[in-house]
Amino acid sequence: MSLYPSFARPRTLADAATLLASLASGGVVIAGGQELMPSINQGVLAPEVYVDIGGLAELRGITETPEGRVGIGALTVHRELQTDPRVRAQLPLLAHAATRAGGGRQVHNRGTIGGNLVAQHPLYDIAPPLLALEAEVEWVKGRETVRQPLAAMLADSRHGLGSEAILTRVLVVPMADGLGWAYEKLKASGGAYGSANAAALVKLKEGRVAAVRLVVGAVADRLIDASEAAAALLVGRRFDAEAGAALAGAVSALVAAPLSDAQGPGPWRQAMAGVVAQRALAAAVARAGRG
C-alpha cells in the first residue's frame, strides 16, 4: 500500500470489473466525480485507488432494449436526461425531475445517473421518479451481470451493489400515453436540496383514479414508497380536496423518523411530506385529465 492514491482508467467494462474485484475494499469508482470529489476535497474520504469508468463505452447511450424498455447507460448525465428526445417523450417524469437537481448547469453537465443512484442520498432528485416508475438497475460484479429492481438496491445501505460492483444501466418501461405525472420539490430556501419531494404517476378512468404510484423523498433517510397507501385511499375516487387532505395525512403518517437538518426540522418535514404528496397527485391528475 502506498501513502498516495493510485489511478486506473480501464478500457473495457470487463477490465474494470476484474480490477475492482482484485482490489477488495480499497478501490473507489469515479466517473463525473460530482458526488465523490466534495468528500475527497474535505478529507472525509481518502481512496487508495481510483477506478475511472468515464471511458467505458459500454456505459454510454440511451437505447430501446429488445423488450421495449428505455435503457439508460450509467454515464448518462443529468443534462442528457433533460434533453434526450427519447427520455423526454417516453419518460417525461424523469426528464423533468432531472431539471430540478441541485448544483446548477455545471453539475447537470457532469453528474451521472449512475453516480446519483449509487450515492443513495436521501435529498437527491433522480431516485424518486425512477422508483415511482418501478425502474430496474443492471450491474456488473466480477464476471456476473445482475439485474434487480431499483427498490431492492435502495433498500440496501451498501447501495445493494457492494464496492466491487459497477452500476451499468437503468431500465425503465416507457410511460403509457395518458398517464399523468408530476414531480414536486419543496425548497424552503434557494439551496440545492429539497425539504420534501414527491414523484407521482396516476391513471384515470372516467375521471376517477384507476392506478397510482407515489414516492416521497427528502423527509427520511430512505425514500418512502407511498403507492399502497395512496391506492387504498384513492382508487375508484375522484381526486378532490377531501381526497387530497386524506392523502396528505396518510403520507405524513408514513414518515416514522423524519430527517431534521439544514432543510428543516423533523415535525415540519413530516407535515411537508403530506403537502408535496398532495400537490404532486393534484398536478398528475390535472395532467392526466388533459391528456
Partner 1 sequence: MDDLAQSVLVQWRVNGVLHELDVLPGLSLLDVLREQLNLTGTHMGCMTGHCGACTVMIDGRIAKSCIAQAATLPRAEIRTIEGLMGPDGRLSPVQQAFWDEAGFQCGYCAPGMLFSAIELLAETPDPTDAEIDSALAGSLCRCTGYQSLRRAVRAAARALKDPNPD
Positions touching partner 1 (CB under 8 A) are 2, 4-11, 15, 18-19, 30-34, 36-38, 40-42, 47, 49-50, 52, 54-55, 79, 103-107, 109-110, 190, 192
Q: Which is nearer to partner 1, 66 or 104 (CB)?
A: 104
Q: Which is nearer to partner 1, 103 or 236 (CB)?
A: 103
Those residues with Cβ within 8 angstroms of residue 269's Cβ, 6 or more apart along the chain or in another chain: 195, 196, 218, 219, 255, 258, 259, 260, 263
| Cβ pair 227, 213 in contact under 8 A | yes
Of 214, 179, 180, 213, give the one whose Cα is nearest residue 196. 214
Q: At its nearest, how many Å lie between partner 1 and the CB of residue 112?
A: 12
Of 182, 177, 173, give the one whose Cα is nearest residue 287. 182
Q: At its nearest, how many Å lie between partner 1 and the CB of residue 71?
A: 23
CA 240 to CA 238: how far, in whole Å?
A: 6
Q: Which is nearer to partner 1, 166 or 226 (CB)?
A: 166
Q: Which is nearer to partner 1, 6 or 148 (CB)?
A: 6
Q: Which is nearer to partner 1, 32 or 180 (CB)?
A: 32
Q: At its nearest, how many Å lie between partner 1 and the CB of residue 10?
A: 6
Q: At its nearest, how many Å lie between partner 1 and the CB of residue 102?
A: 8
Q: At its nearest, how many Å lie between partner 1 and the CB of residue 252?
A: 29
Buried residues in 223-245 as b, exposed as e (16+ CB within 10 A): bbbbbebbbebbeeeebeeebbe
